[in-house]
Amino acid sequence: MVLHYESSRTRYLLGDPMKLLISAILALLLVGCSSSPQAEKEKNADDWFNYGEFRAKKGLIVQTQEQLEAVNPDETITKEFYNAYFSGHQEGTVIYCTQNPYILGLSEAPYFDLCAQSHPEFKDEYEKGVNHQQNKK
């Protein structure tokens, strides 16, 4: 089958059909290669800081280096990485413990005593929120 173009201008804009087909195939190959899974990047201290901060913002207590290694068996957790994790967790704890504990209790999200030392009243206010929510049911 021969393709006929409406004008020489259209032929100039579209080009030879074989070139068009080859270009489309090459473009698809490039897209396929760029979306293939890449090797997982090696973690650094910033990644561990962010992980610690993330966990604390969720209200989770700090883990020991041994606990981190147990739940991340494919990772090598150096002292530098653990220190970064710990620092991130401290920063995340500050953020977590400055939220309104009563509102947290109303949401009935679990509380793991993360704020016991820095904000001793946190648990009492949290429990008031939980009790209020449960009395509404």
pLDDT digits (tens, 9 = 90+) for 26-35: 666 665 555 4
Position 136 pLDDT exceeds 90:
no
Model confidence band, residue 114 (pLDDT cutoffs 50, 70, 90): very high
Give the rounded percent of residues in the chain with a pLDDT score beyond 90: 65
The predicted-structure confidence for 28-78, as pLDDT tens digits, reads as follows: 666 555 544 544 578 899 999 999 999 999 999 999 999 999 999 999 999
Q: CB neighbours of 59 closer than 8 A, spacing ≥ 6?
A: 96, 109, 110, 111, 112, 114
Mean pLDDT of the chain: 83
Q: How far is CA 121 from CA 60, 62, 110, 127, in A?
A: 18, 20, 16, 10
pLDDT reported for residue 77: 94
What pTM was computed for the model? 0.68
Distance, in Å, from the CA atom of 105 to the CA atom of 74, rounded to the nearest integer, reads 36
* Residue 115 pLDDT exceeds 50: yes
